[in-house]
Chain A
């Protein structure tokens, strides 16, 4: 498709503000004004609508395709939540209103949403308090590690290291490093669990925290998780829980009960808010009693008279990690979703998510290598190494699935599984859909034996074939440049 800039026609307008009712003012002095104008396409409204509508049709999405992208929990995003978030009373509220004198009473609806969401997340996870401010999972991790740093500093101890297992998501070590820590990576043993012998070697007074995902990124729940947490605590370190995989745990196990001190939740995963083509998400951070005093300001409180207010008087708070109260629109959708599902609905979501993942695992393990053959939780992780021997790599499998109308599983992660195929069907997908996917996967396994080039040629049915990624990186073309179209 042409770029929007390539559809430009001088003289067209897509939108006009009409006449300015105050008349003209003395113009701003020239030295403050731009000389080189921004080259933006001039189009009619229909041009723009058609352009982006047609672009939208080039995407696979949850609403159009099965999307078992492991670790991302691509469940159905209920439409009523979208409608609620777009209510004027919520969407038009200026975030500074409650900070004005007398303004708190003008934002009671939104403050209540924040307050009640926090309470629900506490009960779901067993944590003592949440800050709703972090703007995504990784932002929650960074916030959490900063809280851990504040905790140690408050105790007068300077600790240097954060432990992450090699199966962890890339954001874990990255967040720890950005918060100022050195990262110690613990390998995964042949049983699929973090190597405890290696782990114990690093339990020193220099250890600030251990960051774990549970169930981990292989989809496995480690039955010794409590022991791991206790060991860390014994040397004064704190436990961080990456809640990306919380979907399997709803009503089944709570990080707070295990002994985790701080965690984040990806609301855009577990609580069904849309992924937006990459975001926005939300990554609220929960803590236990030890860390409450360090939480970012402001905190939403409920006064004795039942009204809600913002509290900024937290002398030990780390400060501001976001401009305001979090991605409010996202939090609101998650809140509506939790209220709608209720206790039983949440538990059922976890159960069927786990059921669907185990179904995929059971049906496919004859055809693909299963590096760790255990009951899985929300996702199963296969390796295409058997197929790779015939030249059919995980990437080829992904491309063939695209031709068959499925969004591929996650293939770039976890790094410890060669040729990984990380499949997370989620609870909202029917047996028929999953069966169709399984059938396609079995067909690929067969083709890998009989006719590998049929797989490696894929995709053939999409608007484009495989792209030259090397060229994209070596000769970066990162934006449209006005050439002849717009003379300067």
Chain B
């Protein structure tokens, strides 16, 4: 089966029109010496067989664990309406809306998505999406380098290590100077950071809440950065913006982040959603597609891809980014998710996350040997110090049916006994209590 509608007669007729005897003649430009040395692909399996085989494989994944692992990627509930709308093939089988007259649905949906991202971040302009939170952060950094003509980056080590590693990888062949600022008591060390800030600095990159879950108000750092003509970039967790001070309110120039928490399944790491919002003056440095509103020849409102002279299909090697395909369908999911929740629903979601995490902190602090780190306020994720290796504890807890957190020793030297615990709105009181009891048992 290859979804081909042609009958034998169709093929014969078409060959005749083309003027060749058989299909092979059409491939005559491929020299015989270049025919495949091998092409050992298994024979076709029926739709039923493939579905059964993959269903069986899916059952080999343990998705039944009670999940307290976050570390930047969160187990949130997805209202059914999100799947229903993103599952409409009028959306998902279309492509980039190059032809606005037959793509108004997509263009308007993206315009609404951009508006939602601006509202959440408190910034002026959003693009139509980037691949993920890490590539979005890289793009933001490159924007700052272009905008300032400088190449020194002050990178807070509270930024997810995955993203920091991505920044290092992407710049291997470029000349970017990084200064990493240590985290002290879970928070960005102001003293260290300000010491390195100078007039060679292109940007300061911070994350809120940071990787340890600590919530901060970075307004003071942003202010200092601006004094030196540097830009300030925040990597943020969008669900937290139902409660936390928005990057725009702190004065950040660019906000990026992973949009997975907005109605996108965990799906083993992708597809996800990189979002980016910036201040107005940076719009022409932005990467990616941007949708704008305009009018048609009859004066009616309509939407188009705009400011395209930034993009690869026009500027080629001088483009602001090489991105072409983005994550539009994930952006649609985010727009639908936020629209279903509405202003009040988003606040409620943030509040439930915060309250459940606070409850979990209380419960866990009663376990002998467990020290809940309280030097900074947190949102829905926090750090605990265990009396033994967190790695070991995590392994034992898996046997008890819990993915109980992320062992910080994996990402930070000397933190082998620290565990990072995320509590989303999906975790019930009963699950949190059982987590506590089980932890007590394995310690």
| Chain A residues, CB < 8 A from B355 | 20, 22-25
Q: Given the complex of chains A and B, what is the CA–CA distance between A3 and B355 in angstroms? A: 34
28 A-B pairs, CB-CB below 8 angstroms?
A1-B108, A25-B359, A31-B245, A38-B246, A41-B342, A54-B105, A55-B106, A59-B97, A64-B93, A74-B93, A77-B93, A78-B3, A169-B313, A170-B313, A253-B36, A322-B166, A323-B163, A328-B271, A329-B270, A341-B44, A344-B43, A347-B39, A348-B2, A355-B23, A359-B18, A375-B25, A472-B306, A478-B306
Report B-chain residues with C-beta under 8 Å of the C-beta of A36: 122, 246, 249
- Residue of A with least CB distance to B142: A178
Select from chain B the residue with minimum beta-carbon distance to A406. B102
Contact of B91 among A59, A330, A341 (CB under 8 A): A59
Cross-chain contact of A322 among B67, B270, B296 (Cβ < 8 A): B270
Chain B window 25-38, contacts with chain A (Cβ cutoff 8 Å), 1 for yes, 0 for no: 11111110111111
In the assembled complex, how far is the CB of residue B190 from the closest CB belonging to chain A, in whole angstroms?
15
Contact A466 B50 (CB under 8 A): no
A22, B69: Cβ atoms under 8 Å? no
Quick check: is B229 within 8 A (CB to CB) of the other chain? Answer: no
Give the interface segment out of A131-139, A199-207, A381-389.
A131-139
In the docked arrangement, what's the CA distance between A332 and B55, Å? Answer: 12
Chain B residues lying within 8 Å of A278, measured Cβ to Cβ, are 95-97, 106, 128-129, 289, 325-329
At the interface, yes or no: A88 with Cβ under 8 Å from chain B?
Answer: yes
Q: Which residues of B contact A102 (CB under 8 A)?
A: 394-395, 398-399
Contact A109 B60 (CB under 8 A): yes
Q: Say if the beta carbon of B191 comes within 8 Å of chain A.
A: no
Residues B169 and A25 in contact, CB atoms below 8 Å apart: no
Query: Known: A177-B317, A253-B35, A375-B26. Is A476-B283 also a contact (CB below 8 A)?
Result: yes
Which residues of the partner chain B approach A53 to less than 8 Å between Cβ atoms?
Answer: 85, 88
Is there an interface contact between B100 and A464, defined as CB atoms closer than 8 Å? yes
Which chain B residues border A45 with CB–CB below 8 Å? 81, 340
- Interface membership of chain A positions 341-368, coded 1 if the CB is closer than 8 angstroms to chain B and 0 otherwise: 1111111110110111011011100000
B89 to chain A, nearest CB (A): 4
A308 to B24, CA, bound (A): 41
- Chain A contributes a number of interface residues (CB within 8 A of B) equal to 210
Stretch at the interface among B149-157, B196-204, B344-352: B344-352
Query: Which of A232-240, A268-276, A285-293, A443-451 lies at the interface with chain B?
Result: A268-276
Is B114 close to A, CB under 8 A? Answer: yes
Considering the complex, give the chain A residue whose CB is closest to the CB of B163: A323
Return A91 CB to nearest CB of chain B, in Å: 4
Count residues of B near A (Cβ-Cβ below 8 Å).
209
Any chain A CB within 8 A of the CB of B118? yes
Query: Is the CB–CB distance between B270 and A326 below 8 Å?
Result: yes
Whether the Cβ atoms of B105 and A466 lie closer than 8 Å is no
Residues from 1 to 31 in B contacting A, C-beta threshold 8 Å: 1-6, 10-11, 13-15, 17-20, 23, 25-31
Tell whether A189 is near chain B: CB-to-CB under 8 Å. Answer: no
Cα of A48 to Cα of B61 in the assembled complex, Å:
34
A188 at the binding interface (Cβ < 8 Å):
no
In the bound complex, do residue A59 and residue B377 qualify as a contact, i.e. CB atoms below 8 Å apart? no
Q: Is A340 an interface residue (CB 8 A)?
A: yes
Are A93 and B268 CB-contacts (below 8 A) given A59-B106, A323-B162, A468-B295?
A: yes
The reply to whether A136 and B41 form a contact with Cβ atoms under 8 Å apart is no
A440 is an interface residue with CB less than 8 A from chain B: no
Asked if residues A328 and B5 are in contact (CB atoms below 8 Å), the reply is no
Contacting residues, chain B, for A4 (C-beta < 8 A): 112, 335, 339
A390: chain B residues within 8 A (beta carbon): none
A284 within 8 A of B: no
Q: Cβ of B394 and Cβ of A100 under 8 Å apart?
A: yes
Q: Is A342 within 8 A of B317, CB to CB?
A: no
Residue of A with least CB distance to B323:
A138
